[in-house]
Amino acid sequence: MELADRIERAERALREWARGLYHGMISHPAYEKIEKEAEDLEDAFMLACFPDAFGIPSPVSYYTAELLPFIEDEFEAWERRLWDRGTLIERKGQQYHF
């Protein structure tokens, strides 16, 4: 009886470790990578919409301004990411966990 309990406990611990390992090594980096890529694309989208934020006049910013009410979160995150970003290499480098 006692042995069975201990085996079960050990098995549970092992399973948790395995899951953690899998999550940390395989699944988390995978979706993190995809998410980062998505963010990069979104940054490109934001830059194409609002180049005048960097002093580049855009013929369409009059129209893209209509999007502003709907992209509050994106706008804030975009600005934050731009402040954070040292270089493109650094950002790409973050996606690899050595």
Partner 1 sequence: MEPFVFFGGKGGVGKTTVSCAYGLKCARADRETLVVSTDPAHSVSDVFDQQFGDDPAPVEGIDGLHAMEIDPDDEVQRHLDGIRSDLSEQVSAAMVNEINQQLEMAHRTPGAYESALFDRFVDVMRNADPYDRVVFDTSPTGSTLRLLGLPEFLEGWIERLMHKREQSIDLFEKAAIGNNEPRRVMDGDPVLARLRGRKEFFEFAGGALREDAAFFLVLNPDQLSVNETGRAIAELREKDLAVRGLIANRLTPEPDPDEDGRGARYLRDRVETERDRLRQVREEFDPPLVAEIESRTAEVRGDLLGDVADELAVETDVERPSFV
Residues that bind partner 1 (CB under 8 A): 27, 30-32, 34-35, 37-39, 41-42, 44-45, 48-50, 52-53, 57-72, 75-76, 79
| CA separation for the pair 40, 61 (Å, rounded) | 20
- Ramachandran sector of residue 55 (left: φ over 0; alpha: ψ -120 to 50; beta: rest): left
Cβ nearer to partner 1, comparing 62 with 96: 62
| Least spacing, CB of residue 82 vs partner 1, in Å | 13
Q: Is 46 exposed, middle or buried (0-12, 13-18, 19+ CB in 10 A)?
A: buried
Cβ nearer to partner 1, comparing 7 with 44: 44
Cβ nearer to partner 1, comparing 7 with 48: 48
